[in-house]
C-alpha cells in the first residue's frame, strides 16, 4: 500500500513513522509512506501557504495554489478511478472508525491532506474524495489525525502485525470492545489473575473471554451493543 501525506509541518511525522510497527512495515516494503511539504509548492520566496479569508473574519486560510500543486504532482487531479483516494482530515468530516480503517486498508494508494489554521480554500474540495474526522473536537491541524489514520489502517494490512489474531481480537474489530488481559506474575499485591486463565482449558478460556467482551461492552459502550443488534 502507498500512503502520501501532504502537510505544512512535515517534521511532526518523524517520530510516529520511524518507530514501532510502522517503521518495520516500511522496512519490509509492506507499506510505502511519503511526507510532502506543501510549502515546497508555493511560488514566492517567502513560501506563503496561507492568506486572509475573503469576507473578513479571524485567522488565516490555506491557499489553494500550493495544495493543488501538491495534489497534481501525485496524480490526484486526473480522472476518477485512475487516481489515488484523496482524504482531507477535518473536524467536519465523517467519523473515522474501525470499519473505515478496514475499508481503507484495501486501497492501493491514499493521499492524506492535513488542514491547518481556519481550514483550506473550499475550492480544493473538488479534488477531495473523502473528508474524515477522528472526533468531535478541534486540533491545531490535521497532522495528528493523519497519524491516527495511518496507524489504524496499517494495522489492518496483512503482515504489519505479526499475529493476525492480535488484530482480530482488538476492540471494535468485531464491533465490540476487547476482553481484559493479564500476564505474569499471577499474583500482585494480593490481586490474582482469574483462575480460568491459568487452567489451560481452552474452551473455558474462550467462553470466559466472550462473556467478558459482552459484559465490558455493555457497561462501557452500550451503544455498540445496540448497533450490533441492528446490523
Closest CA to 67 of 46, 88, 94, 92: 88
**Residue 155 a catalytic site member:** yes
Identify the H or E element spanning 34.
Answer: strand 32-37
Helix, strand or coil for residue 185? coil
**Residue 118 a catalytic site member:** yes
Which residue out of 10, 53, 91, 180 is catalytically annotated?
A: 91
Helix, strand or coil for residue 197? helix
**Residue 65 a catalytic site member:** no
Q: Taking a C-beta distance cutoff of 8 angstroms, is the pair 4, 121 a contact? A: no
Q: Taking a C-beta distance cutoff of 8 angstroms, is the pair 80, 118 a contact? A: no
Which residue out of 37, 65, 97, 118 is catalytically annotated?
A: 118
Which residue out of 65, 170, 178, 216 is catalytically annotated?
A: 170
Omega before residue 185 within 30° of 0, cis: yes
Strands 32-37 and 61-62, sheet pairing? unpaired
Helix/strand/coil (H/E/C) assignment for every residue in 137-149: CCCCECHHHHHHH
Beta-ladder partners of 109: 2
**Residue 170 a catalytic site member:** yes
Active site residues: 91, 118, 155, 170
Amino acid at each position: 500500500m502507498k500512503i502520501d501525506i501532504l502537510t505544512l509541518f512535515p517534521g511532526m511525522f518523524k517520530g510516529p513513522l520511524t518507530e514501532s510497527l510502522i517503521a518495520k512495515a516500511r522496512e519490509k516494503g509492506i507499506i510505502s509512506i511519503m511526507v510532502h511539504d506543501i510549502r515546497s509548492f508555493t511560488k514566492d520566496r517567502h513560501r506563503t501557504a496561507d492568506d486572509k479569508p475573503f469576507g473578513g473574519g479571524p485567522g488565516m486560510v490555506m491557499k489553494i495554489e500550493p495544495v493543488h500543486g501538491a495534489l497534481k504532482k501525485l496524480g490526484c487531479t486526473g480522472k476518477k478511478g485512475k487516481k489515488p483516494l484523496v482524504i482531507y482530515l477535518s473536524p467536519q468530516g465523517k467519523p473515522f472508525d474501525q470499519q473505515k480503517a478496514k475499508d481503507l486498508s484495501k486501497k492501493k494508494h491514499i493521499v492524506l491532506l492535513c488542514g491547518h489554521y481556519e481550514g483550506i480554500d473550499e475550492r480544493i474540495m473538488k479534488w477531495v474524495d473523502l473528508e474524515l474526522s477522528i472526533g468531535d473536537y478541534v486540533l491545531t491541524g490535521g497532522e495528528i489525525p493523519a497519524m491516527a489514520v495511518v496507524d489504524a489502517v496499517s494495522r489492518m494490512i496483512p503482515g504489519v502485525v505479526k499475529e493476525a489474531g492480535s488484530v482480530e481480537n482488538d476492540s471494535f474489530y468485531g464491533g465490540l470492545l476487547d476482553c481484559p488481559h493479564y500476564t505474569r506474575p499471577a499474583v500482585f499485591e494480593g490481586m490474582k489473575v482469574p483462575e480460568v486463565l491459568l487452567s489451560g482449558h481452552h474452551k473455558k478460556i474462550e467462553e470466559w473471554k466472550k462473556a467478558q467482551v459482552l459484559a465490558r461492552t455493555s457497561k462501557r459502550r452500550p451503544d455498540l451493543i445496540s448497533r450490533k443488534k441492528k446490523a
